[in-house]
Amino acid sequence: MKAKVYVTLKPSVLDPQGKAIKHSIELLGYNGISDIRQGKYFEIAIDGSQTAAQAREEATRMAHDVLSNPIIEDFRVEIEE
């Protein structure tokens, strides 16, 4: 089983890296991009003894306590069985 955790900056937090990436992509001629926000992605391999619900609960705690900083970031957890 695999937990996938997506960590993204809160909408209210400026993302200078995303802005720089957007600028570079526009230099390549891509038009019509209104915004790019950079985030982080984690894949957590979980051994088979857990139920999906347990895995989701654990991954959510890990995301809250370690993988994200709740002051500046949001996160989303997906479980892949």
Partner 1 sequence: MKFGVIVFPGSNCDHDAYHVISKHVGQPVDFIWHRDTDLSSYDAVIIPGGFSYGDYLRAGALARFSPVMNSLQRFAAKGNLVLGICNGFQILCEAGLLPGALIRNRDLHFICEHVNVRVESAYTPFTHELKAGSVLRMPIAHADGNFVCDDATLDELRREDRIIFRYCDRDGQPTDAANPNGSRDNIAGICNRERNVMGLMPHPERACEDLLGSSDGRDLFRSLAGTLAAAA
Nearest by Cα to 19 from 36, 40, 42: 36
Considering only 29-37, 50-58, 61-69, which stretch makes contact with partner 1 by CB under 8 A? 61-69
CA pair distance 45, 67, nearest whole angstrom: 15
Alpha helices in the chain (DSSP H): 16-27, 52-62
In the complex with partner 1, the residue whose CB is nearer, 25 or 52, is 25
Quick one: which of 52, 57, 72, 78 contacts partner 1 (CB under 8 A)? 72
What is the contact surface with partner 1 in residues (CB under 8 A)? Answer: 12-14, 16-17, 20, 66-67, 69, 71-72
